[in-house]
């Protein structure tokens, strides 16, 4: 379904939420809004193929409609369980149906829950694909520490985010290229500006050095960017 949620002028713009309206247009919205999204999702399958260890849990944290869950299911090692978690019931009920239609090596469970308040089983691959940016900044470090603690040695976290850049010129340039990307994908100036207002208090991005140093402080031995397109990208962190 085509995303035209912000197409009509609104008197009052509330905070963005992952409700039923958003869930119903989500695949279209994320592909037209996040540069590199499809490349990252398919690469998450390849990372799963390389790093998943037999008998471990694989987590898709903030799974939305299960795009990454599907790739992880396809490439999982033997006897793995893929667990998708999201706190939006609208996303979870749809994801359960969607994921059923895809083949793979692993059993999948999709669970409604808050990832900041979840006890993870020993895991070899964990994914936060454009999710940490929606977690309250004060809770981010504790979540990453819990993820690192749950990972077996050599296990990975794939952390994809919208980045902020400390250099103002780079920030402006990449920010404006992202707006061009949205225009090229058919979003109007009104849609872009209303969505931006709605996300203002909800999506709070960090810069790359903050991500990398925090991951190391949380117990990861290695962390670096493996993909970037404008101000969006993805980090691999290895325990
Ligand atoms: C994808 N990973 O398609 N606990 C659980 N879920 C949460 C929480 C939380 N505390 N906070 C936010 N979410 C997906 C895309 S979308 C990214 C992820 C975007 C969930 C929220 O309900 C939403 O489904 C998801 O995180 C973010 O690869 O829309 O830009």
pLDDT at residue number 17 = 92
How confident is the model over 3-10, as a mean pLDDT?
90
| Token reading at 5 | 């949620």
Q: Is the CB of 108 under 6 A from ligand 1?
A: no
How confident is the model over 189-213, as a mean pLDDT?
94
Q: Is the CB of 63 under 6 A from ligand 1?
A: yes
Strand partners, 84: 60, 110
How confident is the model over 217-224, as a mean pLDDT?
98
Q: Is the CB of 87 under 6 A from ligand 1?
A: yes
- Please give the span between the terminal C-alpha atoms of the chain, in angstroms, as a whole number: 39
Mean pLDDT of the chain: 97
pLDDT at residue number 8 = 84
Q: What distance in Å separates the CA atoms of residue 213 and residue 46, rounded to the nearest whole number?
A: 25
- Given the structure tokens 């469970």, which residue do they identify? 109
Residues 72-127 have pLDDT tens digits of 999 999 999 999 999 999 999 999 999 999 999 899 999 999 999 999 999 999 99
Atom 27, ligand 1: which residue's CA is nearest? 131
How confident is the model over 13-41, as a mean pLDDT?
95
- Confidence check: pLDDT of 135 > 90: yes
pLDDT at residue number 164 = 98
Portion of the chain with pLDDT greater than 70, in percent: 100
- Confidence check: pLDDT of 14 > 90: no
Residues 170-200 have pLDDT tens digits of 999 999 999 999 999 999 999 999 899 999 9
Burial class (CB in 10 A: 0-12, 13-18, 19+), 184: exposed
Q: Is the CB of 84 under 6 A from ligand 1?
A: no
Residue 48 binned pLDDT confidence (cut-offs 50, 70, 90): very high
Strand partners, 228: 233
Burial class (CB in 10 A: 0-12, 13-18, 19+), 64: buried
> Do β-strands 123-129 and 151-162 pair in parallel, antiparallel, or remain unpaired?
parallel
Atom 10, ligand 1: which residue's CA is nearest? 114
Strand partners, 61: 85
pLDDT at residue number 104 = 93
**Measuring CA to CA, how many Å separate 176 from each of 28, 93, 149?**
21, 35, 38
- Confidence check: pLDDT of 155 > 90: yes
């Amino acid at each position: 379904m085509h995303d035209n949620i912000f197409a009509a002028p609104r008197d009052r713009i509330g905070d963005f939420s992952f409700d039923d309206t958003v869930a119903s247009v989500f695949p279209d919205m994320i592909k037209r809004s996040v540069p590199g999204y499809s490349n990252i999702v398919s690469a998450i399958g390849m990372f799963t193929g390389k790093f998943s260890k037999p008998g471990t849990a694989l987590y898709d944290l903030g799974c939305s409609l299960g795009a990454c869950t599907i790739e992880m299911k396809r490439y999982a090692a033997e006897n793995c369980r893929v667990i998708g978690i999201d706190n939006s019931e609208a996303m979870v009920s749809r994801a359960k149906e969607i994921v059923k239609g895809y083949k793979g090596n692993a059993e999948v469970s999709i669970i409604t829950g808050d990832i900041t308040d979840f006890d993870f089983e020993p895991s070899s691959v964990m994914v936060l694909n454009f999710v940490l940016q929606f977690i309250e900044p004060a809770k981010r470090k504790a979540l990453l520490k819990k993820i690192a603690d749950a990972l077996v040695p050599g296990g990975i976290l794939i952390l994809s985010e919208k980045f902020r850049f400390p250099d103002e010129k780079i920030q402006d340039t990449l920010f404006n290229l992202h707006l061009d990307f949205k225009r090229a994908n058919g979003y109007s100036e009104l849609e872009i500006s209303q969505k931006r207002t709605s996300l203002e208090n909800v999506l709070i991005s960090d810069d790359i050095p903050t991500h990398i140093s925090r991951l190391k402080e949380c117990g990861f031995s290695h962390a670096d960017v493996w993909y970037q397109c404008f101000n969006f990208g993805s980090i691999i962190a290895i325990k």
